[in-house]
Structure 1
Amino acid sequence: MKQKPNQLKFLKYQKNRNKGFSCKRNILIFGNYGLKSLDNGFLNFKQIESARKSLVHNLGKNNKILIRIFPDKVITKKPLEVRMGKGKGNIHDWVSVIKPGIIIFEVKYENFDIVKKSFFCAAQKLSIKTEICYE
C-alpha cells in the first residue's frame, strides 16, 4: 500500500470539520465480512498498515483482504516554541478521514470465528471504535 498520493492540486489543505455519517463506502462489495467504524477520527498510514499486518498474520497470505481507505489528507504542524503567524506549518502526517459507517477492511473468508478473532486483533491497532459487519 502506498503511503501518500502521487500528486495533489494543493499541497496543504484546511482542516475542515469531521462530523456526520458516511454516505459512501458503507456497504460490503468485495468480501463477506467487514470492519466498520463507529467514531469520527483520522487514521494514519502506520495504523492502517499495522492493522493489515495483524489481519494477514491471523488469516494467512493467500486470503483476500481489501483495504477500503487511503491516507490522502495532509496534517500540518508548526515546530515547538515557534511564535504565531509566519504561515502554515510543515507537513506532519498523511491521514485518512474516518466517519461513522465507513468500512475500513473487507475479508472474503468462510470461518466466522477466525475472522472475528482477526478483526479484534486489527481493531486493537486502530484509534477508533469499530464493529464487525457481514452480509
Structure 2
Amino acid sequence: MPQMPKRVKFRKAQRGVVRGRTTRRKYNGPIKGNAHRGNYVAYGDFGLQSLEGGWLSAECIESARVTMTRFVSGEGRYYMRVFPHKPITSIPAETRMGKGKGEPEYWAAVVRSGQILFELGGVAESVAKDCLARVAYKMPFKCRFVTRRPNV
C-alpha cells in the first residue's frame, strides 16, 4: 500500500513556482536547484542519488521498497530517505473549466537533484549495486550509485 501522511494541515497544496523569478508563474517542469541537505549517505553503506529533480510518487517509492525487500531478503538493511508529503490534485478528463481545484489524486515526494533516495547497509558492494540498479530502473528520473564517504 502506498505511503501517505497520517494527517495534514491543508488537504490541497500548491504546485510550486520557479525559483529566482520575480513573477509568480506556475511551473510544471523539473525541480530547480540542488539538494543542500539529504545529499550524502548517512545510514547505510551505499545509496541511490537522484541526478534530476521532480516529483516521486508514492507508488514509485512503494515499488522500490518491494524490490529492495525481495532482493535483500534478511541479509542487510535498507533505508528510505524520501516520504510523499505533497498531495497532487487533478480534475477529471472532459470536465468544463471552473468549479475549483481538483481532488487529491496521489501523494508525491519533492526531490531535488543530488538528494539520496534510498540506502543499503550490511551487504557487499556488488549486491548493493545490483539491487540499487533495479530500483533506479523504476525511478522517473536519472539516478546514480554512491558510497559512504569516509569521515575525516
Q: Do they fold alike, i.e. is TM over 0.5?
A: yes
Indicate conservation of the 8 Å contact 1:109/1:115, yes or no: no
Moved over 4 A (4+): none
Match of 2:106 in 1: 93
Q: Comparing both chains, which one has the higher relative contact order based on Cα–Cα distances under 8 Å and sequence gaps of 6 or more?
A: 1
Match of 1:118 in 2: 131
What is the percent sequence identity of the aligned residues?
35
Distance 1:6 1:110 in 2: 32
Structure 1 unaligned residues grouped into runs of 5+: none
1:76 and 2:114 are equivalent in the alignment: no
Counterpart amino acid of residue 3 in structure 1: Q
Indicate conservation of the 8 Å contact 2:3/2:62, yes or no: no
Counterpart amino acid of residue 100 in structure 1: S
TM-score by length of 2: 0.83
SS at match of 2:49: strand
SS at match of 1:43: strand
Match of 2:9 in 1: 9
Q: How many residues are aligned here?
A: 135
Bigger radius of gyration among the two: 2
Aligned CA RMSD, in angstroms, stands at: 1.4
Indicate conservation of the 8 Å contact 1:65/1:107, yes or no: yes
Structure 2 unaligned residues grouped into runs of 5+: 18-30
Q: CA deviation at 1:86?
A: 1.3
